[in-house]
Amino acid sequence: MDKIQLFLVLVTVVCFANGAKILGFSPLPIASHNILSKAVLRALAEAGHDVTAVTCYHEDKHPKGGKWREILLSDYNEKFSGHFTQMTGRDRKTSFSLLGIQKMTLEMTETPLASPQVQDLIKSGEKFDVVIVNQFMNEAHYMLAAHFDAHLVVLSTIGSGPMNNYLVRQSKLHYNLFMQGVKVACNWVFEKEYVTNGKIISLE
């Protein structure tokens, strides 16, 4: 390949290779969920894509390579930190943990959508190629993909379990027995008896 052909190839690649315009919607005010979703969005920006991140956590060092825009929901983070303390702290009340979680998850869905920053984005007429939603009991946020005329990617930042495998396949129970109170070691014999034959066993 001579220099002219190489030059034409490089010009073609530079002129016609465009990054995707991506909306990352990860407003959950829990740091552990944010770590993975932010890593994915940063990697996409570093790969040359145009990323808009809706988040509760400010990114001090913007990724290099593509474009990075942050829509920060700081008030939302402060509001819900008290809820999580009540649910997980030492002085938590069982009644709040059981009865309050439904109200809290509803607020976790509605509050980010109602925030002025997100409302401005929704009404802006802007379009995206892809919308990535951090999935955690917030299926209503999937509608953002339809609104922005984009493909939907659902990103799960929690471990394997019934909550995030219902669309693809059912998890084998030995992956999530801790959710059912099973405290014994799992092996293939246990799986055959417990999973395949559906036996109810005593765990005491």
Q: With contact defined as beta carbons under 8 Å apart, do 130 and 154 qualify?
A: no
Tokens of 156: 């799960």
C-alpha dihedral (176, 181, 184, 188), degrees to nearest 10: -40
pLDDT in tens, the chain (204 residues): 576 766 666 666 555 567 789 999 998 887 777 888 899 999 999 998 999 999 988 888 888 888 999 999 877 766 776 666 555 555 555 555 556 667 777 888 888 999 999 999 999 999 999 999 998 878 899 999 999 999 999 988 776 655 555 555 555 544 455 455 555 555 555 554 554 444 444 443
Domains of the chain: 18-158 (3.40.50.2000), 170-204 (no CATH)
36 φ, ψ (degrees, to nearest 5): -70, -45
pLDDT of residue 106: 80
- Which residue in 63, 51, 55 sits closest to 21, CA to CA? 51
Q: What's the rounded Cα separation, in Å, for the pair 30 and 181?
A: 25
Q: What's the rounded Cα separation, in Å, for the pair 199 and 23?
A: 46
pTM value surpassing 0.85: no
pLDDT of residue 145: 95
